A and B are shown apart, each in its own frame.
Chain A
Amino acid sequence: MALWGMVIDLDKCTACQACLIACKSENNVPFVGKQQADRGRIISWLEIISETEGEYPEVRTRFIPRPCLHCDNPPCVKVCPVYATYRNPEGIVAQIWERCIGCRFCMAACPYAAKYFNWHQYRIPESMEKGFNPDVYVRRWGVVEKCTFCSHRLLRARDRAAAEKREMRADEYVPACVEVCPSKAMYFGDLNDPDSVVSVLGRSPRAFHLLEDLGTEPKVTYLMEGERHALL
């Protein structure tokens, strides 16, 4: 069985936020509106975390795209009281919207703040209706939602392979953010296959994980910035 994982090369990432937009439209992520956004209720399954270090003129800003990291030891799954969030056999940490009671314990437990809450019943604006993705279930008010690694694409790829009576190839399944990345900074694949691109890149000396010391064992690996700088 596959174990899905992602690699993000921070050297290649330009922080253009294409992944963020692709994620929003692919997964029917609601637009909360300016008023709600000001109150800190933006829903964005993939977030670009920015961190500025130093004082002018020695300023350096780092950008880290952060989808759900799909931890192998997920702190959010441990605390869910009703099996609304779980790690499936392929390593995807899933959320069952119809089971979630909205206690937000998983959000409090997630050290990466990768989970989002539907504070209201949000609607997709009329102008966006054409972009609605029928493959993705629309979450309703009062439940927690999160990045699914676009698992509907996995289902679709598997269905297609089954219809054509063949095994699904790992490269048939790619999340929206990875697909659109203009600088090809994101890679996706099967971590159980030692020759897959994510496994190879994951062994790179530049590889690190977010908040590695917490022991959550994320399946999103980052490649450290600096190789290009060193060359200059």
Chain B
Amino acid sequence: MHSSRHRLNFEEHRILFDPIQNPRRGISIFMGILLAITAWGGFCYILQWRYGLGASGLNQPVLWGFYITNFVFFIGISHAGTLISAILRMAKAEWRRPITRMAEVITVAVLYIGAANIIFDLGRPERAFFLFLYGRYQSPLLWDASSITAYLTASSVFLYLPLIPDIAILRDRFADRKWLHRFYQVFSFGWDGSPRQQKVLNIGITIMSVVVIPIAVSVHTVISYIFSMTLQPMWHSTIFGPYFVCGAIFSGIAALIVMMVVLRKIYHLEPYLKPIHFNYLGILLLVMSLLWFYFTFSEYLTGFFGHEPTEMRVFWSKVTGTYAPYFWTMVFFNFVVPVLILSFRRMRTIGGVLVASISVLAGMWLERFTIIVPTLANPRLPFPSGIYFPTWIEWGLMLGSFSFFVFLYLLFSRFFPIISIWEIEEGREVGLEEVEERIRSYLPETAGTFNSREKERST
């Protein structure tokens, strides 16, 4: 880290200030449209509030549907951020620099939306505060509540800490904008890049990137427990924790790639986000796709081989029955498409990686759906089973959730640089040397250094 204030050339990073300085009209209009769709979702929710949860397509026995699917999906996406950014920071992957912030923003934005989807699913949302008054730690839902709160706190701090030097840059850059300047003044916490401040911040970021990883893993593990702690067929499975975490990171990387491509396009970030970044993320996505397939395979083969009748009813309804179209589309989107595209270097272009990511996002949403609904639709006791069709209210809330996510993201980019400026600068000034030094330390010492050491020793 360095003191950016004096040496930083504002003009050089003009692209990054542009969304804040002269927001483009098209993007404002787009944000307006997103807000309108969100408002439509809000309207759907008001209707549901008035008519009761019966306004959705839920029934008995399929008593969880789109809302819970979206909840699991969004919380899964949130792993994009913090987890990937923390892991890349820990691994000292130099190519992370333009990516980390984008990833962290996804986490924070999406966690709120995931939590909101749980509220949508409540029959009596006005009683949600009972969780605080009369909560009960035996219920996995409370584990979720604690774990998501911890994750939200940690990832907000984790997003904010590396933002401080950038806010200081903005404070100096926008000294002529009254409220914006004051806003940045407050939130830069008097950052001036002194060595003491840099040390404190660096320690903070390092600690947070260590702490955030177990919290992130716990979040999706605990979410999987909602299902696996019950006795229901094909839910009651020990593999669910890691399976869900794997799926979460998988969909998270996909969401990150999609957001990167979109922002690269609309904010002209080509100098920062180069094909190599997409190539590397594509490889990560490929690894996660294979891991996901491995988990899915183990899960379904174990169920099939045991051939327990109740398990098999769910199994067949997924593989050949009512839910087969969803199931096989999921396998196609999550495994076939990404592996076919990402296995070949020539296909790991920005376009290729984008197609794979969109496919993974759709596939992972279907994965959540095919985990939740078929089990509920095939209870242990013979039941006059209903088939679940979401109503337009559920579709409206889902659309609203997605557009609100994009809206929050764009809103963030209107006030803060979406790529960490000081970290890019740090990469130039410190990173280069550090990496050279590090690589040298991996290798056996050269003859020259060896000889000089020998000489030293002999004297």
Instruction: Note whether A and B form a binding pair.
Output: yes
Stretch touching chain B among A1-9, A78-86, A169-177, A199-207: A78-86
Given contacts A100-B124, A101-B122, A120-B51, contact A108 B141 (CB under 8 A): no
Docked CA distance A210–B62 (Å): 21
- Once the chains bind, are B230 and A79 in contact (CB under 8 Å)? yes
Residue contact B136 to A82, C-beta cutoff 8 Å: yes
The reply on B229 being an interface residue by CB < 8 A is yes
Q: Chain B 26-69 against A: per-residue CB contact (8 Å), 1 yes, 0 no?
A: 00000000000000000000000001111001111111100000
The reply to whether A40 and B231 form a contact with Cβ atoms under 8 Å apart is: no
Contacting pair A142 B52 (CB below 8 A): yes
Residue B202 at the chain A interface, CB threshold 8 Å: no
User: Of A49, A105, A108, A142, which is within 8 A of B124 by CB?
Assistant: A142
**Residues from 358 to 393 in B contacting A, C-beta threshold 8 Å:** 376, 379-386
Contacts of A105 in B (CB 8 A): 139-141, 226
Q: Which residues of B contact A39 (CB under 8 A)?
A: 57, 59, 386
Complex CA distance for A113 and B125, rounded to whole angstroms: 23
Which of the residues A99, A101, A216 comes within 8 Å of B123, measured between beta carbons?
A101
Contacting pair A119 B231 (CB below 8 A): no
Residue B127 interfacial (CB < 8 Å)? yes
B220-247 residues with Cβ-Cβ distance < 8 A to A are 226, 229-232
Task: Check A118/B380 contact, CB under 8 A, given A79-B230, A82-B131.
Answer: no
Flag whether B275 is at the interface (Cβ < 8 A).
Answer: no
B232 x A80 contact (CB < 8 A): no
Question: For the complex, is B138 an interface residue (Cβ under 8 Å from A)?
Answer: yes
| A121 touches B (CB below 8 Å) | yes
Please name all residues of chain B whose beta carbon is closer than 8 Å to the beta carbon of A20 when the two chains form the complex. Answer: none
Q: Is A230 an interface residue (CB 8 A)?
A: no
The answer to whether the Cβ of B305 comes within 8 Å of any Cβ in the partner chain is no
By DSSP majority rule, is chain B's interface helix, strand, loop, or mixed? loop
What is the distance, in angstroms, from B224's C-beta to the closest C-beta of chain A?
Answer: 14
With a cutoff of 8 Å between Cβ atoms, the chain A residues found around residue B382 in the complex are 49-51
The reply to whether A81 and B386 form a contact with Cβ atoms under 8 Å apart is no
Instruction: A147 to B145: give the CA distance in the assembly, Å.
Output: 29
Given contacts A36-B54, A41-B54, contact A101 B381 (CB under 8 A): no
Considering only residues 181-235 of chain B, those with a C-beta below 8 Å from chain A are 226, 229-232
Whole-angstrom CA separation of A56 from B124 in the bound complex: 48
B381 to A111, Cβ gap below 8 A? yes
Contacts of A66 in B (CB 8 A): 381
In-complex Cβ contact of A111 among B121, B138, B232 (8 A): B232
Task: Indicate whether A116 reaches chain B with its CB closer than 8 angstroms.
Answer: yes
Q: How far is the CA of A120 from the CA of B376 in the complex (A)?
A: 21
Q: A39-B386, A80-B136, A102-B122 are in contact. Are A109 and B230 (CB under 8 A)?
A: yes
Residue B344 at the chain A interface, CB threshold 8 Å: no
With contacts A79-B229, A108-B232, A143-B123 known, is A101 near B131, CB below 8 A? yes
B179 within 8 A of A: no
Q: Could you mark each residue 110-153 of chain A with 1 if its beta carbon is under 8 Å from any beta carbon of chain B, else 0?
A: 01110011111100000000000000000001111000000000
B142 in the interface, Cβ–Cβ < 8 Å? Answer: yes
Min C-beta distance of B228 to chain A, whole Å: 11
- Nearest B residue to A101 via CB reads B127
User: Out of B57, B123, B138, which one reaches A118, CB within 8 Å?
Assistant: B123
Q: Find the A residue at minimum CB distance from B54.
A: A119
Given A101-B130, A102-B53, A111-B379: A75 and B231 interface contact (C-beta under 8 Å): yes
- For residue A75, which residues in chain B have a CB less than 8 angstroms away from its CB? 230-231
B243 to chain A, nearest CB (A): 18
B136 to chain A, nearest CB (A): 5
B54 touches A99 (CB 8 A): no
Determine which residue in B53, B128, B383 has the highest number of CB atoms from chain A within 10 A of its CB, and name it. Answer: B53
Residue of A nearest to B60 (CB): A40
Chain B residues contacting A103 (CB-CB under 8 Å) are 118, 121-123, 141
**Known pairs A105-B226, A142-B123, A143-B123. 6 more at Cβ < 8 A?**
A42-B60, A82-B130, A103-B122, A111-B379, A111-B380, A141-B52
The 3 closest A-B pairs by CB, nearest first: A102-B123, A40-B386, A142-B123
Give me the interface of B with A, judged by CB distance under 8 Å. Answer: 51-54, 57-64, 118, 121-125, 127-128, 130-131, 134-136, 138-142, 145, 226, 229-232, 376, 379-386
24 A-B pairs whose Cβ atoms sit less than 8 Å apart in the complex: A50-B382, A79-B139, A79-B140, A81-B131, A81-B135, A82-B127, A99-B134, A101-B124, A101-B130, A102-B53, A103-B122, A107-B60, A111-B232, A111-B381, A113-B60, A113-B379, A113-B383, A119-B53, A119-B54, A120-B51, A120-B54, A142-B122, A143-B124, A144-B123
